[in-house]
Amino acid sequence: MNSAPVPEVVVLLRNQILIGAIMKRSDLEMLSTEELWVLHEKVTTTLNAKIRAEKKVLEDRLAQLNGRFLVEQTSQTPERRPYPTVFPRFRNPEQPSETWAGRGKKPRWLTAQLKSGKQIEDFRIDF
């Protein structure tokens, strides 16, 4: 059974840089708080850089698989496609300015009228 290679660790230890050192628990316990904080910052910076690089590689690969060109992300949201105007199909006879196109949730005035026994066709607008 092959074990995975141990990643290299860069540590600032009493003004010396140890490259490729394998950290043991006893080594970490000997470090001061300041030295541990510097190690934390270096690990965080390195990890963020590697994650960004890997993300870019994966996005490029995905773009190739999708057959699209990689589009740089901008802060602007994409423009919505224009939808045709939907004309109203039903009108409230008591309040003619209240209309409904027949899409989405039924308005309260129509629901109340339907509960009172009227048919939806009674409110249809004739063109």
Is the predicted pLDDT of residue 52 greater than 90, yes or no?
yes
Q: What is the pTM of this model?
A: 0.38
Considering the domain architecture, whether residues 20 and 52 belong to the same structural domain is answered as yes
pLDDT for 73: 54
The CA-CA-CA angle for residues 55, 4, 30, to 5°, reads: 95
Could you tell me the residue range of the domain that residue 33 belongs to?
9-66
Residue 79 maps to a domain:
no
pLDDT band at 95 (very low <50, low <70, confident <90, very high): very high
* Structural domain count, the chain: 2
Boundary-marking domain end, from 34, 66, 98:
66
Residue 1 maps to a domain:
no
Give the span between the Cα atoms of 40 and 10, in whole angstroms. Answer: 11
- By the 10 Å C-beta count (0-12 exposed, 13-18 middle, 19+ buried), 90 is classed as buried
User: What would the 3-class secondary structure string for 5-69 be?
Assistant: CCCCEEEEECCEEEEEECCCHHHHHHCCHHHHHHHHHHHHHHHHHHHHHHHHHHHHHHHHHHCCC
Residue 37 maps to a domain:
yes
Q: Is 4 helix (H, G, I), strand (E, B) or coil?
A: coil
Residue 73 maps to a domain:
no
Residue 78 maps to a domain:
no
Is the predicted pLDDT of residue 97 greater than 90, yes or no?
yes
Residue 4 maps to a domain:
no
Residue 71 maps to a domain:
no
Residue 123 backbone phi and psi in degrees, to 5: -105, 0
The predicted model gives 27-37 an average pLDDT of: 85
pLDDT for 1: 45
In the structure encoding, which two tokens stand for residue 90, read together? 């039903």
Tell which residue, 33, 30, 29, 36, has the closest CA to residue 12.
36
pLDDT for 109: 95
